[in-house]
Structure 1
Amino acid sequence: MYKKLATQTIIYSIGSILPKIINYAFLRFFTISLKREEFSLYTDMYSLSFLAIGFLSFGLENTYFRFLYKKNYNQETVFSTGVIIQLLIITFFLIISINSINYLISIAGYHNHPEYFFMFFFIIFFDTICILPMAWLRAHEKPLKYTVINVINILIQSFLTVYMFFCSNNFYIKKTCLVSIFEWINSFTDRTGYIFFANMISSLSNLFLVFPILFKEVVIQKFDKILAKKMLSYGIPIMLGTIAFSINENLDKILIKRWGSDEMNGSYSACYKIASFMSLYIRVFRLGIEPFFFKKYGDSDAEYYYEEINYMFILFGLIFYVLICGNIPIIIGLFIHQKYHFAMSIIPIIMMGNLFLGIYTNLSIFYKVLDKPIIGTYISFIGVLITFLFNIIFILIPNSSFMIPAWGTFASYGCMLIILYIWGKKIFSKFFRKKINIIIHFLFAIFLVFVINKKREIMFRFFFQLLYLIIIFVLEKKRFFNLIKR
Structure 2
Amino acid sequence: MSNLKKLAGQTAIYGLSSILGRSINFLLIMVYTAYLSKESLGSFTAIYALIGFLNIVFTYGMETSFFRFATGKNLDSNKVYSHSQSLLIISSLIMGTGLYLAAPVLADWMEYPGQSYLFRWTALILTFDAVLAIPFAKLRLENKALTFASAKLITIFLNVGLNILLIIGFPHWIETGILPENFLGYQLDWGVEYILLSNLIANGLIIPFVWWKAGFFSFGVEKTLLKPMWDYSLPLLFMGLAGVTNELLSRMLFEYILPENFYPGLSSREAGGVFGANFKLAILMNLVIQAFKYAAEPFFFKESENKDSPKLYAQAMHAFIIFCSVLMIAISVNLNWIGPLFLRSPGYEEGLFIVPVLLMGYLLLGIYFNLSIWFKVTDKTHYSFWITLLGALVSIGVIVFLVPVWGYMGGAMSTLACYLVMSIVCYYFGQRYYPVPYQSKKGISYLLFAFLLSYGGFYLSLDHPWLDFIIRNSLLIPFILMILLGEKSFLSKLKTKIKT
Q: Residue 62 of structure 2 is aligned with which of 46, 60, 63?
A: 60
* Residue 294 of structure 1, CA deviation: 0.4
Over 3 Å counting, the alpha-carbon distance change for 1:203 and 1:180 in structure 2 is farther
* Residue 181 of structure 1, CA deviation: 8.6
Q: How many residue pairs get matched? A: 476
Q: Could you give the per-residue CA deviations for residues 220-267 of structure 1, whole angstroms, max 9, x where no partner exists? A: 25x421111111111111111111111111111122222330121111
1:376 aligns with 2:384: yes
* Residue 383 of structure 1, CA deviation: 0.5
Over 3 Å counting, the alpha-carbon distance change for 1:191 and 1:481 in structure 2 is farther
* Residue 190 of structure 1, CA deviation: 2.1
Q: Which residue of 2 aligns with 1:308?
A: 315
Cα distance in 2 for residues equivalent to 1:71 and 1:481? 39
Q: Residue 341 of structure 1 is aligned with which of 339, 349, 357?
A: 349
Q: Could you give the per-residue CA deviations for residues 404-429 of structure 1, whole angstroms, max 9, x where no partner exists? A: 22212111110010101111112333
Q: Which residue of 1 aligns with 2:479?
A: 468
Greater Cα offset, 321-330 or 459-468: 459-468
Greater Cα offset, 418-427 or 100-109: 100-109
1:142 aligns with 2:141: no
Greater Cα offset, 186-195 or 64-73: 186-195
1:393 aligns with 2:392: no
Q: Could you give the per-residue CA deviations for residues 300-331 of structure 1, whole angstroms, max 9, x where no partner exists? A: 11111111111111111111111111222122
Whether the 8 Å CA contact 1:40–1:265 is kept in 2: the answer is yes
Whether the 8 Å CA contact 2:97–2:123 is kept in 1: the answer is no
Cα distance in 1 for residues equivalent to 2:493 and 2:310? 17
Q: Residue 375 of structure 2 is aligned with which of 367, 376, 384?
A: 367
Cα distance in 1 for residues equivalent to 2:10 and 2:194? 35
Query: What amino acid is the match of 1:228?
Result: L
Unaligned runs of 5+ in 2: 259-267, 463-467
Whether the 8 Å CA contact 1:112–1:189 is kept in 2: the answer is no
* Residue 446 of structure 1, CA deviation: 2.1
Q: Could you give the per-residue CA deviations for residues 327-383 of structure 1, whole angstroms, max 9, x where no partner exists? A: 221221222134201111211111111111110011101000011111011100000
Cα distance in 1 for residues equivalent to 2:8 and 2:443? 23
Aligned partner of residue 324 in structure 2, secondary structure? helix
CA RMSD of aligned residues (A): 2.2
Instruction: Give the 5 Å matches for 1:254-333.
Output: 254-260=252-258, 261-333=268-340
Over 3 Å counting, the alpha-carbon distance change for 1:101 and 1:181 in structure 2 is farther
Cα distance in 2 for residues equivalent to 1:481 and 1:109? 61
Greater Cα offset, 162-171 or 258-267: 162-171
Q: Residue 240 of structure 2 is aligned with which of 242, 250, 268?
A: 242
Over 3 Å counting, the alpha-carbon distance change for 1:483 and 1:407 in structure 2 is farther
Query: What amino acid is the match of 1:36?
Result: K
Q: Could you give the per-residue CA deviations for residues 167-193 of structure 1, whole angstroms, max 9, x where no partner exists? A: 325469868xxx99921xx23742222
Over 3 Å counting, the alpha-carbon distance change for 1:348 and 1:467 in structure 2 is same
Query: What amino acid is the match of 1:140?
Result: E
Aligned partner of residue 113 in structure 2, secondary structure? coil
Instruction: Give the 5 Å matches for 1:78-477.
Output: 78-169=80-171, 170=173, 182-183=184-185, 186-187=186-187, 189-213=189-213, 216-221=215-220, 223-260=221-258, 261-337=268-344, 338-394=346-402, 397=404, 401-432=407-438, 434-457=439-462, 458=468, 459-476=470-487
Whether the 8 Å CA contact 2:310–2:435 is kept in 1: the answer is no
Cα distance in 2 for residues equivalent to 1:255 and 1:149? 33
Cα distance in 1 for residues equivalent to 2:199 and 2:120? 13
Whether the 8 Å CA contact 1:113–1:189 is kept in 2: the answer is no
Cα distance in 2 for residues equivalent to 1:374 and 1:291? 20
Greater Cα offset, 114-123 or 85-94: 114-123
Cα distance in 1 for residues equivalent to 2:306 and 2:330? 36
* Residue 449 of structure 1, CA deviation: 2.3
Aligned partner of residue 474 in structure 2, secondary structure? helix
Cα distance in 1 for residues equivalent to 2:133 and 2:226? 17
Unaligned runs of 5+ in 1: none
